[in-house]
Structure 1
Amino acid sequence: MTPRESVVRLLLVEDRVEDAERIASILRNGGMAVRPTKAESEDHFETVIGQQSFDLVVVGAEARLIPMERVVELVEASGKDVPIIAVLNELTDANIQRAFDSGVPRVAPRAHPEILQFSIANAFAAVESRRSVRRLQASLRETERRCDALIESSRDPIAYIHEGMHIRANQAYLEMFGFEEFEEVEGLSLLDLVAPAHAEEFRQLLKRLTKGEPPPKTMQLTAQRGDGSAFEAVMEFAQASYEGEPCLQVIFRQRSIDAEVVRELDELRQRDQVTGLYNRQHFLAEVDHTAARAAEGEKELALLLIEIDNYASVLAEIGLGNTDSLLEACAQRLQKVLGDEQVLARFGEHTFAARLEKSNHKKTAETADKVRAAFDGKILEIGEKSMSIWVSLGAVQIGERIATTQQILGKASQCVNAAMSMGGNRVELFDPAAGDRAEEQRIQERVREIEQALENNSFVLHFQPVISLHGDPGEAYEVLIRMKLPSGELVPPLSFLPEAEEHGLTGRIDRWVIGRALALISERHKLRRDTTLFVNITASSLMDEQLPGLIGRQIAKLGIDGSRLVLEIPESKVFTNLRPAQEFAQALKRFHVGLTLEQFGSGVNSFQVLNHIDADFLRIDRSFMVDLAKNTEHQKKIREIADRARDLGKRTIAEFVQDAASMTVLFTSSVNYVSGNFLAPPGPEMNYEFG
């Protein structure tokens, strides 16, 4: 599913506005944020595809406005990577073949919203991946260019080998073997630079490398120059790539000391001189390797970051001269707890790190807590001093969803910082799978809370005034629902309505709110207050054939004016449920109940829906209210909507009014009503003083 924060820019080719709007609505209902543009003609299509950026083109396969074949030609002529999806009225072999023949590689059925939504989301994900790859390739080319410059200027003799042949060598390498130009060594087998005494051993190594085996870190042999002279050398190997091709990086070092000393020096380069643990550089290489294994699907890998709590205070107590003794004592304690099976390193000034093998979520948590407990107030001998210290740990369960060194270390750092911010001496563990489990448990708990609120009548209503700009009599409020938990906490609608919709509970909630609103209208009427209440309903209520009759019976029972109740439904929900919405609206008219279209103006052609639904109010989409005083385009759009609505006999509401400057703009327009926190925030009482 496309994340909500990723806005999908759609260019739609449909003969009918309703069809284009329906596609946009299907995507919005599925959680995708879309910005649709409908092509009005072939010239318009050619102009916008050339001047604007689009993510996808969605074309009706039967569209006559711009034929599908012509759409393909125009997109190809633009030179842009914009996928095309053909929407088929009937998913037949002939229709699919026609789309493929026209050059459209993706098709989706119009009659199956879930498949249509999946196809568009999949195409968007694919084009985003290609864009990401292109960005990475550009970054890689720049990195390779810089690396190439560094290699050329390096005094280390470095060469790149592909299938045993030289494809690149720097000047230091050429000088070592007595060559003047790279052309002398280009295509030369690396085996030709190995003395006969070691030729067979090196030939076997090359065979193993061609089978995909990793190279050794080093190899000692006798090398041979072009003039036949030989010298003792140590070869260092590393897997690399050159101009996009996998290859082997080789560094020749002339050996002037014995093998044992070489091994000792190599070991020293990997170790921290104070603690004897691996150093940061070596550990980062280990994490890189671990991340690659995780990306290939290997599981039960984890990382620990261990940091001394209140390090500055500890240092002040033991004295700066005992810093090394402190770190050495901590390293010994960690080695005792973790043993030799795990890679343990000094990662920072007072931070240690461990890479855990064969460690699932449970074992990682146990190991981390074991490390914490090993320090928990226990005595450490630090030089001539003895003191207790505590540590905080950030643990990360490594997997395919977190399989880069940057991600792993970033999450571990966040976790250890969180542990220290909560007082230290604790473990914070990040596990993507555990997060999924926790989210599922949270959803289940929320559903139970909603069901209990319905059973126990635990919902609460708040009211926000809807104020007339033209002095209309009476008073009006928008009804906003809250859920009251047993603890007394009030939960806002966005924190429970998505789960309610997913589990089929919104219809019951709508009925509860409508019933309560009618009762309140009756109570206000008895107090001689003519109060109109605007009540939001969900799409499930449009499908409830019994709801209009239930409302009508309640109105008759209470003896109230049905026009005091106005039900509100988003414009997009009406477009995608047009037939049920029409029947629902017609049924409400029998009882004089009003209807509002919410989020009006956000669609491809919002006024088109009024040809099918006789709405009383149009609530202008709140996106047009953002920075209204300075945004002339938004001002123009609001005036256009308000003027056209007035001509059609519809009343408009501008919500989300945040400042006096916005009110000034609205006063000069044809907008009928306004609401927003600048005028009055929602509250549990209907006590606003209408003029």
Structure 2
Amino acid sequence: MSVSTRDTLHLLLLTQTQNDAEQLISLIRNSGSATRAQTVTSHQQFEDSIRATRWDVIVADPELDGIDFSELINQVNRLNLDIPLILAPRKVEPMLHETALLRGVAGMVAFEESNTLVLMIQREVQQLRVRQDIRVLQIRLREAEKRCRLLLESSRDPIAYVHDGMHVYANQAYLEMFGYDSVEELEGMPVMDMVAAESQGDFKAFLKEYQGVVPEGRVLHLTGALPDGSHFPMQMSFSEAMYADETCTQLQIKREESTQVLEAELDELRIRDATTNLYNKNYFVERLTRAIDQAVLEKSYSTLMYISVDGFDNIKRAVGIQQSDEVIRAVAACLSEHAIQYDITARISDEAFAWMMPGRQPEEAQQRAQALVDAIAGLLVDLEQQTIRPTISVGITLITDNSPAAAEALQQAHNAAEAVSEGDRTGNGIHLYMPEDEHQEQELRKAEDELAEAVRTNRLKLLFQPLINLRGEDAEHYEVLLRMPDKDGSEISAGDFLLSADISDELKRKVDRWVILHATKLLSVHQRKGNQTRIFINLTGASLRDDGLAGWVQVALKAAELKHDSVIFQMTEEDAVRHIAPAKRFCYQMHAVGIRTAVSRFGCELSPMDLLEKVDLDYVKIDGSFTQELENNPQSGKVLKQLLGDIHERGKKSIAPFVESASAVSSIWQYGVHFIQGYYVQGPQAGMTYDFSDEDAGG
């Protein structure tokens, strides 16, 4: 049950006391963030640390003796690192606050205002992640632009880029169509010159209509003009593009033949719903995606509505499928009457419609939605045997540069429509989507219910990932990993699930016992085939505090006919430190009957060796971030080498997870690691199927 190292918050601290640092780390972990922290007390230690490790955030007390926060910023800047610095003095002085912000400090909050400090740390880390993602995306964008340029050059379709009505680029096919030898001859020439005089009026009207922002996918049928004075029928289509880091319009031209006119008509039929003649879902999602992209690029906005016919299943049962289509057609006709130019309306399911209004203010959109609701409420649909009076529920969400992807935006509007009929309401109304805390609480309760149901119905799934011993031990080792099937058929890591959701201790204990029971049964079957195999089973902090677990474990092992040394129980460093007395007692009880214990995610505490002095553990699995940093930052190897040296000095067997490459194995081998685990060896599998005989013990 582990969390991705992407979620491990790397925290560098400069505090008055060790207790202050531990207090802050505890608060951050209680807020749900896995944390790896270190304290330093001098500028030299600070520079050594930021050279060796990639920290997410620095928290410093500006009143600390021998530390100047301005020099801390200079040290970070000299190394050209992106690490936010937060100051946490005992008391915030306005002059100091202003000076700190001017010099580049990310923020300042009094150390005693612990909740605010934690929120600021989380905000800065989130923004750091966004900046890191943007840098990766910029690289991918440059690569994509190179590929696009190559595709444009090789395309047989005439394509040009236009900015403010002037050509800025054209491919070879475009140059050949209009009789030019090079792009330089065409640069700065108005695109209007490519249109025959008889079509220029229509073209001007089109450009004026959209005020220079041409909608993607719009097609014009015009007459083109060639340099020799001849004319030809053409189809001109538009899309957004970037050229020389500026937004422009991509123009694609096709000669129109009689068959192309027919193809255009067929294309129009493909994007229409056969029953209502509104657009279909695929086309609407495409247009919605464009609107979201345009909101990001041009800071434009739109309004999205999800319109559901209330009680449509009851209508269908009452009048039949064919007659219910008449109801849908009547609602669609009413929707079309209320839509105005440039609105997009579509049927997106049996009983649901979508309506997108470009550039509309929320207040105006709500007024128009209410007008539609009132109109539908007065609509009478006369069928053969009865009259139906349908009503609708309308959910509204705003499309801005902060909107999610199209599918999620539609889901937001759908959720808002469902809210119309919550409680004592019965639909026939409108609701504006708002991300509320109450909804999040409902999701947490729902998460616990889903997990409890999965335990009751045995829908949980066990996977096994091998650990390779680099020091010659014959026994095979696997870690047991837990997955829970999701609604869409994917699988959720139960470790992530338990840590991210507000799951009760009682349910966590049930999950742990489920894992122990089923894993030991499978191990028993595997050992009866002649395999000398041991498994690591993860426990939550709730189980460490379960006084009855030690006795129950012995009963479970006896029922599975397993020797006690076949199972190794593993806890996280955070749980062991947080529940030090129960962890110490549990390990003592296990060792008394010959069962070994392990700790995972080790090395994140300020003084990690304190745990090994207090709790008797046999195996120590370091935090995955140490391994992953080896490939990205060779300097981090010094930190890992020291950590492993301290572990081995205390007689513990070490495990390095997240080993993804041969180079990582080579480095880790030099540090004396006992076991390696990761996709370089093998990813988690449904059974204990790894062939250990292929491994050359000892590296």
1:122 aligns with 2:119: yes
Identity %: 23
Q: Which residue of 2 aligns with 1:608?
A: 610
| Aligned counterparts of 1:441 and 1:362: Cα–Cα separation in 2 | 31
Shift of 1:480: 1.0
Q: Deviations over 1:327-356 (max 9, x none)?
A: xxx9xxx9996889x9x67599xx972445
CA distance in 2, matches of 1:79, 1:544: 47
| Cα distance per residue 1:566-599 (max 9 Å; x no partner) | 1122222222332332233223222222222212
CA distance in structure 1 between the aligned counterparts of 2:654 and 2:55, rounded to whole angstroms: 33
Aligned mates of 2:534, 2:517 — CA distance in 1? 14
- Could you tell me whether the CA contact under 8 Å between 1:49 and 1:75 is conserved in 2? no
Aligned to 2:59: 57
The AA in structure 2 aligned to 1:119 is: T
In the alignment, is residue 584 of structure 1 matched against residue 578 of structure 2?
A: no
In structure 2, C-alpha distance between the alignment counterparts of 1:489 and 1:78, rounded to whole Å = 45
- Say whether the 8 Å CA contact 2:56–2:125 is kept in structure 1: no
Equivalent of 2:88 in 82, 85, 90: 85
Counterparts in 2 of 1:131-280, with a 5 A limit?
A: none
Q: Residues 537 and 567 of structure 2 are in contact (CA less than 8 Å); yes or no, is this contact kept in structure 1? A: yes
Question: How far 1:84 moved relative to its partner?
Answer: 3.7
TM-fit CA distance, 1:658: 2.0
SS in 2 for 1:502: coil
Q: State the partner residue of 1:651.
A: 653
- 1:625 and 1:634 in contact (8 A); partners too: no
Partner AA of 2:497 in structure 1: F
Cα–Cα, structure 1 residues 315 and 686, in superposed 2: closer, same or farther, change >3 Å?
Answer: closer
Matched, 1:357 2:363: yes
Q: Is the 8 A contact 2:110 2:117 kept in 1?
A: no
| Contact 1:629–1:665, Cα closer than 8 Å, also in 2 | no
Alpha carbons of structure 1 residues 571 and 494: separation in structure 2 relative to 1, 3 Å: closer
Query: Structure 1: how far apart are the matches of 2:544 and 2:682?
Result: 31
Given that residues 32 and 500 in structure 2 are in contact (C-alpha distance below 8 angstroms), is that contact kept between their aligned partners in structure 1? no
Tell whether the 8 Å contact from 2:38 to 2:605 is kept in structure 1 after alignment.
no
Contact between 1:629 and 1:662, CA under 8 Å: does it hold in 2? Answer: yes
Are the counterparts in 2 of residues 465 and 477 from structure 1 also a CA contact under 8 Å? yes
Task: Measure how far apart 1:412 and its partner are.
Answer: 8.1
What is the rounded CA distance, in whole Å, between the counterparts of 2:648 and 2:371 in structure 1? Answer: 65
Q: Label 1:661 to 1:483 Cα distance change in 2 as closer, same or farther (>3 A).
A: same
Normalised by the length of structure 1, the TM-score is 0.51
Aligned residue for 2:569, secondary structure, equals: strand
Deviation readout 1:522-563 (Å, 9 max, x if unpaired): 444544433211011122222222212322343455554323
| Structure 1 position 513, deviation (Å) | 1.0
After TM superposition, the structure 1 = structure 2 runs for residues 312-331 of structure 1, keeping only pairs within 5 Å, are 316-317=264-265
| Contact in 1 for aligned 2:9/2:56 (Cα 8 Å) | no
**Deviation larger for 503-512 or 482-491:** 482-491
Query: 1:533 is paired with a residue of what secondary structure?
Result: strand
Q: 2:597 aligns with which of 582, 595, 598?
A: 595
The match for 2:625 among 618, 623, 626 is: 623
What secondary structure, in the 3-state scheme, does the structure 2 residue paired with 1:580 have? Answer: helix
SS at match of 1:626: helix
Letter in 2 for 1:75: F
Taking the aligned partners of 1:526 and 1:480, their CA distance within structure 2 comes to: 22
Q: Deviations over 1:340-385 (max 9, x none)?
A: 9x9x67599xx97244526559948967999xxxxxxxxxxxxxxx
Deviations 1:398-442 (A, max 9, x none): 4xxx8xx6447x9789969x99xxxxxxxxx99752697876665
TM-score after normalising by structure 2: 0.51
Question: Could you say what secondary structure the match of 1:453 adopts?
Answer: helix
Higher normalized contact order (CA 8 Å, seq sep 6+, divided by chain length): 2
Counterpart Cα distance in 2 of 1:126 and 1:558: 49
Structure 1 residues 340-351: aligned runs within 5 Å: none
CA distance in 2, matches of 1:33, 1:365: 51
Secondary structure of 2:692's partner?
Answer: coil
Q: Which residue of 1 is the match for residue 473 of structure 2?
A: 472
Shift of 1:649: 0.9
SS across alignment from 2:68? helix
Contact 1:21 1:605 in 2 (8 A): no
Q: 2:690 aligns with which of 679, 682, 688?
A: 688
Q: Report which stretch shifted further, 6-15 or 637-646.
A: 6-15
* 1:75 aligned onto 2:69: yes
Q: CA deviation at 1:472?
A: 0.6
Name the aligned partner's letter for residue 687 of structure 2. Answer: E
Alignment-derived partner of residue 632 in structure 1: 634
**Paired residues, what number?**
446
Q: Determine the C-alpha separation between the residues in 2 that align with 1:608 and 1:593.
A: 22
SS across alignment from 1:657: coil
Q: 2:334 touches 2:375 (CA, 8 Å); kept in 1?
A: no
Give the residue type in structure 2 aligned to 1:472: E
Deviation of 1:500 after TM superposition, in Å, equals 5.6
Task: Name the amino acid aligned to 1:397.
Answer: T
Seen in structure 2, the aligned counterparts of structure 1 residues 85 and 489 have a Cα distance that, compared at 3 Å, is: closer
Distance in 2, Cα, partners of 1:276 & 1:490: 52
Structure 1 residue 639, shift from structure 2 partner: 3.4
Q: 1:617: how far off?
A: 0.8
Q: Is the 8 A contact 1:280 1:345 kept in 2?
A: no
CA distance in 2, matches of 1:436, 1:550: 40
Distance in structure 2 (CA, Å) of the matches to 1:473 and 1:574: 29
Structure 1 counterpart of 2:476, one-letter code:
E
Alpha-carbon contact 2:58-2:85 (below 8 Å) kept: yes
The one-letter amino acid of 1:519's match is K
Determine the structure 2 residue equivalent to 1:397: 397
Q: Which residue of 1 aligns with 2:318?
A: none
Distance in 1 (alpha carbons) for counterparts of 2:59 and 2:545: 32
State the alpha-carbon separation in 1 of the partners of residues 206 and 262 from structure 2. 18
What's the secondary structure of 1:661's corresponding residue? helix
Distance 1:568 1:361 in 2: 59
- 2:446 aligned with 1:463: no
Answer yes or no: is the 8 Å Cα contact 2:16–2:64 preserved in 1.
no
- The change in CA–CA distance for 1:460 and 1:50 in structure 2 (over 3 A counts) is closer
1:644, 1:125 → 2: CA distance? 31
Q: Is 1:30 equivalent to 2:31 in the alignment?
A: yes
| Secondary structure of 2:577's aligned partner | helix
1:690 deviates by 2.3
Q: Give the Cα separation in 1 of the matches to 2:676 and 2:568.
A: 16
What secondary structure, in the 3-state scheme, does the structure 2 residue paired with 1:24 have?
helix
Contact 1:478 1:534 in 2 (8 A): yes
Whole-angstrom distance in 2 between the partners of 1:444 and 1:130: 29
1:662 CA drift (Å): 2.8
Counterpart in 2 of 1:569? Answer: 571
Assess, with a 3 A threshold, how the Cα gap between structure 1 residues 406 and 580 changes in structure 2: closer, same or farther.
same
Distance 2:592 2:374 in 1: 68
Residue 274 (structure 1) shift: 6.0
Letter aligned with residue 363 of structure 2: E
SS in structure 2 opposite 1:658?
coil
Instruction: Indicate conservation of the 8 Å contact 1:459/1:481, yes or no.
Output: yes
Correspondence for 1:451: 452
After superposition, give the CA deviation of every residue in 1:213-270 in whole Å (9 maximum; x if it has no partner).
Answer: xxxxxxxxxxxxxxxxxxxxxxxxxxxxxxxxxxxxxxxxxxxxxxxxxxxxxxxxxx
Structure 2 unaligned residues grouped into runs of 5+ = 1-5, 75-83, 98-107, 129-203, 216-259, 268-278, 280-331, 345-355, 377-393, 414-429, 694-699
Deviates more, 1:504-513 or 1:443-452: 443-452
Counterpart of 2:664?
A: 662
Following superposition, the deviation at residue 453 of structure 1 comes to: 1.9
3-state SS, counterpart of residue 567 of structure 1: strand
Whole-Å Cα distance in 2 between the matches of residues 487 and 411 of structure 1?
18
Q: Distance in 2 between matches of 1:649 and 1:274?
A: 79
Cα distance in 2, alignment partners of residues 478 and 53 from structure 1:
29
Kindly provide the amino acid, as one letter, of the partner of residue 40 in structure 1: T
Q: Over residues 7-33 of structure 1, what are the superposed CA-to-partner deviations in whole Å (9 max), with x where a residue is unaligned? A: 5744232544x7635633541442346
Match of 1:172 in 2: none
Q: How far is 1:276 from its partner?
A: 10
